[in-house]
């Protein structure tokens, strides 16, 4: 497991513990990814069949997640 994968695993586990969720939704997962600092700075490499418009954002864009950070246990 890479360091990136391990960090993601820990972040999801912390999210589930703090929010008392066994199964986070995809929206929850995206929230965790954004809070880890990931931003969409490059065009997509996936072919989504024209179902959505691609976009990019600045690397320092705000996360767009309005929930306050949870206190660690």
Per the CB < 8 A criterion, the answer to whether 23 and 12 are in contact is: no
For residue 40, count CB atoms less than 10 angstroms from its CB and return exposed for 0-12, middle for 13-18, buried for 19 or more.
Answer: middle
Question: Nearest-CA neighbor of 38 among 47, 46, 29?
Answer: 29
The pTM of the full predicted model, rounded to 2 decimals, is 0.79
pLDDT along the chain (73 residues), means of 10: 98 97 97 96 93 94 76 56
């Amino acid at each position: 497991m890479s360091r990136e994968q391990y960090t993601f695993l820990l972040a999801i586990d912390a999210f589930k513990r703090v929010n008392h969720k066994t199964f986070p939704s995809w929206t929850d997962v995206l929230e965790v990814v954004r809070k880890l600092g990931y931003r969409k700075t490059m065009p997509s490499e996936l072919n989504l069949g024209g179902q959505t418009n691609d976009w990019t954002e600045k690397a320092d864009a705000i996360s767009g997640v309005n929930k306050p950070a949870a206190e660690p246990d």
